Structure 1
Amino acid sequence: MTAEQATAPAAGQPVESLRDLAIEEAALDLLAARVAAAKKDVRARTQAALDAAAKRDGVERVGAILPTGEQVATVSLRKGTVGPVVVDEEAFARWVAARWPEQRQEFTETRIVRTVKEWRAAELVAQMAALDLSIGPGQSTRAAMWADPDTGELVEIPGVLIKPTSARTHTLTWRKGGKDATAKAWRTGTLARQFAAITAGGEQ
């Protein structure tokens, strides 16, 4: 049986060549891999440029503009987040047990070392997160604080730090008609320079 016979459709339907399908899938597989690699690379370079522009000039968004002058999308900076992170469970558990001695069996548990039970740790971390989470210039972390509900005193919590919990990133928001305009620019060769690396020769 030939490749064409293997994919012969029912009567009345056009014949679709298996060889044509195979090369189309192979080409799209290569294209998808190269597009994924190119997108990862350009996102990293865009992020670095956005971070630099935000620090230097306060710029947090930039338009994606075709060589024709038409804006098709907007790239916007998304700042990273910071929050309390338990970095020393044993130290945190010792503080919880000392702060609530009558409830130490309820709030903590002893394995090889004493740890705070997950539900109580989540409650306390949420209370810490409700306070100021800023990190000063030149700092990567700082001590986490907890507000004592009885006295209002801010207490530094052992084993917990305020630190970045997600990296800075950015988003791309398409304008209405932007995708069609970009596809047309790609099809007519207007974006040939931007896509040159994807269609260049050589294994990647």
Structure 2
Amino acid sequence: MNDMQQLALEEAALKTLADAVTDRLKAVRASMQEAMDTTGASRVDATLPDGTKVATISSTSPKPTAQVTDPDLFLKWVREHSPKNVTTKLVTEVRPAYQTALLAEMTAAGVAEVADKDTGVVEEVPGVEIKATRSRGHSVRPVDGGREAIGAAWRTGQLAHLDIPQITAGGAE
């Protein structure tokens, strides 16, 4: 087998393993998130069978941000309250810098309202909602030496009780 054939085989094997691991990771990640949501846990330590801590799983809670949910209503409001920040091309749209500034102001306030800088009158901005940009999730942070400990545990069979994909004669399990 020449070098290129060796590389081709190695790449094909790694791709097969990566696909199997990615599919299993998605399933385990979803189960972990469900378990954390169900129990209310915000942090879980990952430990090897011998008790060695290898990682910490921590929940994440995205902060809600202002988002334009109805561009037509938002455009109508901006036309009435700040027409200089509306540009007309083939398509009429709110100037991106103004939209960014308004959304940031509403995100900071936590409501889809803005105060007129001159009059102080607070108005609701139609077509904008404050909502999370992504669903709750969690992160995995290996501790110092955690990756190495997991590798050693893998090689010595300490992780055999886990449902980790293996490459079998028919492809990934």
TM-score where L is the length of structure 2: 0.85
1:84 corresponds to 2:66: yes
Kept in 1: contact 2:105–2:114 (CA 8 A): yes
1:26 corresponds to 2:5: no
Q: Deviations over 1:19-77 (max 9, x none)?
A: 665544433232122112111221111112112222xxxx2010001111111110000
| CA distance 1:195–1:183, shift in 2 (3 Å) | farther
Tell me which of 67, 80, 85 is aligned to 1:98.
80
Kept in 2: contact 1:82–1:162 (CA 8 A): yes
List runs of 5+ in structure 1 lacking aligned partners.
8-17, 134-143
CA distance in 1, matches of 2:114, 2:52: 51
CA distance in 2, matches of 1:112, 1:84: 27
Q: Percentage identity across aligned positions?
A: 38
| CA distance 1:180–1:150, shift in 2 (3 Å) | same
| Counterpart position of 2:36 | 50
| Counterpart position of 1:129 | 107
Q: CA deviation at 1:203?
A: 4.3
CA distance in 2, matches of 1:99, 1:121: 13
Question: 3-state SS of the aligned residue for 1:40?
Answer: helix
Write the letter of the residue equivalent to 2:61. K
CA distance in 2, matches of 1:60, 1:78: 8
Q: CA deviation at 1:173?
A: 0.9
| Counterpart position of 1:13 | none
Write the letter of the residue equivalent to 2:21. V
CA distance in 1, matches of 2:19, 2:35: 25
Q: CA deviation at 1:201?
A: 5.8
CA distance in 2, matches of 1:130, 1:22: 52
| CA distance 1:20–1:161, shift in 2 (3 Å) | closer
Question: 3-state SS of the aligned residue for 2:109?
Answer: coil
| Counterpart position of 1:179 | 147
Write the letter of the residue equivalent to 2:60. R
Q: Which of 1 and 2 has higher RCO (CA within 8 Å, sep 6+)?
A: 2
RMSD over aligned CA atoms reads 2.4
Kept in 2: contact 1:63–1:73 (CA 8 A): yes
Question: 3-state SS of the aligned residue for 2:58?
Answer: strand
Number of residue pairs matched by the alignment: 172
1:115 corresponds to 2:93: yes
CA distance in 2, matches of 1:69, 1:27: 32
Q: Deviations over 1:76-98 (max 9, x none)?
A: 00112311111222211221221
TM-score where L is the length of structure 1: 0.73
Write the letter of the residue equivalent to 2:81. R
Question: 3-state SS of the aligned residue for 1:130?
Answer: helix
Kept in 2: contact 1:66–1:72 (CA 8 A): yes
